[in-house]
């Protein structure tokens, strides 16, 4: 690497640092949860809903079924990139 005068950083460490800073300001970050629904009211995004769990491959509820959690907020940020499924929905809508 002959990038003299430039800095090299780990993207994972930068994200971890920024997440900690955001949480200090009261931001809630939900990692490790699949979100499959955008919550809307009066044409505005009001939050997101996590995916239901405990379904078989046909979508029928099993005994361990748990409905997804609705997370509503004044501001919702989708940080899944331009190829994310929810981002694609938002691009089509707006």
Q: What is the pLDDT of residues 4-53, one digit of tens each?
A: 888 888 988 998 999 999 999 998 888 888 888 999 999 899 999 999 99
Confidence of residue 80 (pLDDT cuts 50, 70, 90): confident
Rounded distance, CA 44 to CA 54, Å? Answer: 30
Q: Which residue has the tokens 């009001």?
A: 46
How high is the pLDDT of residue 1? 57
Backbone angles phi, psi at 10, to 5 degrees: -85, 120
The Cα angle at residue 32 between residues 42 and 22, in degrees rounded to 5? 70
* Domain residue ranges of the chain, discontinuous segments joined by +: 30-93
CA distances from 90 to 3, 52, 58, 76 (A): 39, 21, 27, 12
How high is the pLDDT of residue 72? 93
């Amino acid at each position: 690497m002959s990038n003299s005068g430039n800095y090299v950083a780990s993207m994972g460490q930068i994200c971890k640092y920024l997440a900690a800073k955001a949480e200090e300001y009261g931001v809630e970050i939900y990692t490790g949860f699949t979100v499959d629904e955008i919550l809307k009211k009066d044409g505005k995004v009001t939050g997101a809903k996590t995916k239901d769990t405990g379904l078989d491959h046909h979508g029928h509820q099993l005994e361990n079924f748990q409905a997804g959690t609705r997370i509503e907020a004044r501001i919702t940020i989708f940080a899944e990139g331009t190829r994310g499924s929810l981002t694609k929905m938002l691009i089509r809508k707006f």
